[in-house]
Structure formats: C-alpha cells, structure tokens
Structure 1
Amino acid sequence: MIVERLRGVDRVSVQELVEATESSDMTIRRDLDFLAAQGVLKRVHGGAVPAMASGVEPPYSLRAQAAVAAKRAIARAAVEHIHDGETIVLDSGTTALEVAKLLHDRAVTVMPLSLHVAHELADAPRIRLLMPGGEARRGELALVGPLTVASLRALRFDLAVLSPCAFSLDAGLTAFDLGDAEVKQEAMAVAARSMVLADGAKWDRAALAYVCPADYPDLIITDPTAPEDQRTLLAQRGVLVEVAALEDAS
C-alpha cells in the first residue's frame, strides 16, 4: 500500500499512513525504513518520497503536471520580490514558467533560459525580452552550452530566478543535466541577488550535477510541505526562507 501511494504522489507522511492502515507509528516507520533499505523510497523528515535515480530526469511534461498548486503559490510569492525596471535572468524549470505567466504586465527586462519561457513572454507588452544563444535541449527546450554561457557573461542582472531539479542541505542545489547546471551557476554569478524556487517535493533530494551550496542563494521560496527543521537550519545560516501560502489554505 505504501509503494502504491508513492506512485501517485510526491510525498507521503507517517501520519497519513498510520491513519490509512490503522497501524502504529512505530510499524509504519519500520516499514518505511525497510523499503528505503531496498531502494524503493527515500526517507525524509516525517515521511518518505519516491526513490529518484540521480541521473534520470523525469520528462518535462510530467514535471509540468506535478505539484501545480505549490508551484503557482511559489510563483505568486516570487513576483512580489520583482520590481519594475529590474533586469532578470529567468531559469528553465517548470516553476519559473509559472513566474513568467505572472510577469506579462510588468515593466522588466528578462533573459529567459528556456524556449518555453520565451514563448510565454514573447507578446508581453511591457517586457523587454533578451534572448541568449545556445542549444535547446530536446524535450526540455532549456538553453545550454557555450553560447548560452557567453550570453550570460556579457551582461549583469539585478536578479537570477532559479528553479533547481533537486535540493538538499547536504547536496545543495543540483540538476540532472551538466549543461543546465553550468548555466544555472553562471546565472547566479552575473546577478546581484539570487532567488531559488523549490517546492517541497524537491527537498531532501539530489540530482547528478552540482550547482551551488544550499545556503548560497539570498532567498528560497518553498511551500508548507518543505521540512520545517531544514527551513530553520537554512535561516540560521543566513538564508531568507519564505513559505508560500497555498490558495486553498484557510
């Protein structure tokens, strides 16, 4: 039952499994530990997430349908930190696309690192759109390679908005693709400040390519499912951590 539940969601909690099975807290934790040892899932604070191979990237179409409410809430919180007149480099992740949807009427300059984001902003009347060079990754349409890096190095931005593939206190920000990780690193290097958008399903995970330490960004915006103890630890390290309120929260 635990395995079946994890096939349809990004995270299960010990409490919900206790209620669903009418088993004890100790029994559920023991079962989760057993399944983690078999590589079926990964234990996280208060529950478990599906095991994720660090070198296998889920298709963009599937990621675009996952945690939609959380991503939209994070995007709403993110645009509150974007001011008219600013120059922004906007990442290629699905959460960054949600940010782009909210920027249509804003007077900002944006360099998109994805053709998905570029298409979203192409007809925005007040957006100044700066297109980098580079190779569009098949399926992802994220822009990578030496031309993209060169485009970034030629400019300076007020803000880099990043949406990493995975995030953890130990592994930091990570990406599945080596070229994507390089572009993310360069975006942060040429921006005065950096904002990371990571919904709770991305926490306690690691992908293949290292981007930066967990405490490097100036601001991390997440949702209420992100582990509270880790949010506290990041705040103690000097990172501003903001929890976006979901629309249906009351």
Structure 2
Amino acid sequence: MSDNQNLLAEQRRALILDEVRRRGGVRVNELTRKLNVSDMTVRRDLDALARQGVVEKVHGGAVPVGASTHEPGFEAKSSLELSAKEDIARAAAVMAVPGSAIALSGGTTTHALARHLVDVPDLTVVTNSVRVADVFHTAQRAGAASGQRNAAATVVLTGGVRTPSDSLVGPVADQAIRSLHFDVLFLGVHGISAEAGLSTPNLAEAETNRRFVRSARRVVVVADHTKWGTVGLSSFARLEEVDTLVTDAGLPAGAREEIAERLPHLVVAGESSGIPKE
C-alpha cells in the first residue's frame, strides 16, 4: 500500500511539474480540482517539488524556478483566471470615454478588455499588442462587411520587437509612444507588489511600459488577484504612479487595505465601484 501511495504521489508531482512548466504557473485551487485531491495534498506536493528545486512556491501556487525572468507565452497565460479577467474587463471598459485617446499595453487581460471596447464610439486606440490590435481590426472588418461604421475610428500599432506574449517592445515602440499622449492607459502587468510596484520579467518591455506610463494622463492597471505579490525582474512604475487598480474578488483583505493606502481608487470587479482616497 505504501508503494502504491508513493507511486501516486510521484505521478501527481510529475503532472504538477508539467503544468507549471507548460503554463508558467499554477494555483493550488486549480490543482485540487484537476487532480481531485485535497488542498493539503497539493501543498505537500508543491513543498516536495520546491525541495527538489524544480518549482518555486508563491502565494497560492507555484511558478517555475527563476520565474522573475521567465516570461510565459500568450497562449499559456490566456488559460489562467479566465472568469476573473472577464470580470475585470467589464469593470474597466466603462472608464473608456467616447472620443478619447486610450492606450492598451500587451497582456491577456487587456486583450479581454479590448473585446469590450470595440463598441465605444470614436476611440483612438494605441497599443503595442498584436493581439489587441487584431481584436479591433477584426471588428472593423466585420463592420465593413455589414455596412456599419466601426466604433474604433483609429487603431495605432506601435511596431517593435515581438515578445513571447505578443507585445511589441524596444526602441521603435519606445520612440512611437514617447511622441504620443493618452487620456487613459489600460496597463496589464506581470506582477504588482507594495515594495516592487509594477514589474515584468522582460527588460525591454519594462522600458516600453515605462514610456506608456509617462505618456498617460491617467493610469489604470488591470490585474487579477494572482498578480499581487508577484515580482518580475524589472520594476517600471511605483504603485503611487497608478490612478486605479481594477482587480477581482479573489484579492485578499490585507492586500486591499495596502493598495487602498497607496492608490486613489481600487475597483474590485463585481463588488464596489471603487474606494476613493480622500
């Protein structure tokens, strides 16, 4: 019986390690559902894998060793926290005013947001995300085919060097952004914390995001609760440079208090409309 238990544990851990490497990170609650085992069993498995040096434990889950420099691809990230991203996208979309100039950075959450913005009239949209630009271009083609004018009048793709997450970064992107001014920047992030602020594992993307922040009158970060406490290799903005964080109900109470102390507005999708800072 002991041998069977050990074999089952080895099989589970192999599956967990495969998930971590394939997706760039896993959550404990996802693994309990997938493997049909208890929360405690998953945590023991993650402890064992961490002792072997093949994963790094983070709050609520695990990431590959060296995750501060690991950048998962778009497809790997797009399967994570789907309902949370959709809730965040709906909540953030109301902040886009018809006729305004907005910027959307790369990321799966901004990609979800783009799908909610295609019907906002007369937006000028600047993005360094190939995927985001495709959302608007597809809507434009559909509108043209049906004889309707598309709501997004202008879409500007910055150009640059493509990252694993299908963002365009580097000197070409930086120069394009430097000459522009946005009413609102909707910014996706790899990680967010009180100490490190906003961060990414990609050095070139950090500089491009830094340019985005400098060119925006208002900065709205769209990030699900799993991003809190994650720190990438390079920080590109302090929390105090963010005007609004839009997140989901999974954000712990302690994190909410810490964020509310530093940001003018915290919007928890599906809950309150925001916590203004007096």
In the superposition, the TM-score normalised over structure 1's length comes to 0.82
Q: Deviations over 1:71-120 (max 9, x none)?
A: 11110011011111111011111111111111111121111111111111
- Bigger radius of gyration, 1 or 2? 2
Work out whether residues 121 and 129 of structure 1, in 8 Å CA contact, stay in contact via their aligned partners in 2.
no
Percent identical among aligned pairs is 32
For structure 1, list consecutive stretches of 5 or more residues without a partner in the other structure.
none
User: Structure 1 residues 51, 229: CA separation in 2 closer, same or farther (over 3 Å shift)?
Assistant: farther
Q: How far apart, in 2, do the equivalents of 1:201 and 1:22 lie?
A: 17
Q: Count residues with an aligned counterpart.
A: 238
Match of 2:26 in 1: 10
SS in 2 for 1:76: helix
SS in 1 for 2:113: helix
Match of 1:237 in 2: 262
Which of 102, 105, 119 is matched with 1:91 structurally? Answer: 105
Structure 1, 96-105 or 137-146: larger mean CA deviation:
137-146
Match of 1:145 in 2: 170
Work out whether residues 5 and 12 of structure 1, in 8 Å CA contact, stay in contact via their aligned partners in 2.
no
For structure 2, list consecutive stretches of 5 or more residues without a partner in the other structure.
1-8, 141-149, 272-278
Name the one with the larger helix percent.
Answer: 2
Match of 1:117 in 2: 132
The yes-or-no answer on 1:193 pairing with 2:218 is: yes
Task: Give 1:234 deviation, angstroms.
Answer: 1.2
SS in 2 for 1:131: strand
Q: Deviations over 1:107-143 (max 9, x none)?
A: 2111111111111101430212242443241543311
Query: What is the identity, as a one-letter code, of the residue corresponding to 2:102?
Result: I
Which of 64, 81, 85 is matched with 2:95 structurally? Answer: 81
Q: How far apart, in 2, do the equivalents of 1:177 and 1:157 lie?
A: 23
User: Structure 1 residues 142, 36: CA separation in 2 closer, same or farther (over 3 Å shift)?
Assistant: same
Q: How far apart, in 2, do the equivalents of 1:68 and 1:229 lie?
A: 24
Q: How far apart, in 2, do the equivalents of 1:138 and 1:49 lie?
A: 23
Which of 164, 167, 172 is matched with 2:189 structurally? Answer: 164
RMSD: 3.0
SS in 1 for 2:240: coil
Work out whether residues 132 and 151 of structure 1, in 8 Å CA contact, stay in contact via their aligned partners in 2.
no
Work out whether residues 224 and 248 of structure 2, in 8 Å CA contact, stay in contact via their aligned partners in 1.
yes
